Structure 1
Amino acid sequence: MSPEAAHADPRAERLTAHDARGRLAHERHSRLTQLAAIEESAPPGTDALLAVQTRAIRQVLAEIDAAVARLDAGTYGDCGRCAKPVPVERLEILPYARCCVGCQERTV
Structure 2
Amino acid sequence: MSLDLPRTDPRGKTRVASPAADEIRQRLEHARSTRVAQLKALDETGQSPDDHLMSTQKDAIRRVLTEIDEAFARVEDGTYGTCLGCGKAVPPERLEILPHTRHCVACQRRAV
Alignment of 1:5-20 (within 5 A): 14=4, 16-20=20-24
**Larger proportion of helix:** 1
Q: Distance in 2 between matches of 1:63 and 1:72?
A: 14
Partner of 2:110: 106
**Taking structure 1 as the reference length, what is the TM-score of the superposition?**
0.82
* Larger gyration radius, structure 1 or structure 2: 1
In structure 2, list runs of 5 or more residues that go unmatched: 6-19
4+ runs deviating over 3 angstroms: none
Q: In 1, are the aligned partners of 2:21 and 2:75 still within 8 Å (CA)?
A: yes
- Give how far 1:73 is off: 0.7
**Taking structure 2 as the reference length, what is the TM-score of the superposition?**
0.79
Paired residue type of 2:34: S
RMSD after superposition: 1.7
Partner of 1:85: 89
- Give how far 1:46 is off: 5.9
Alignment of 1:17-36 (within 5 A): 17-36=21-40
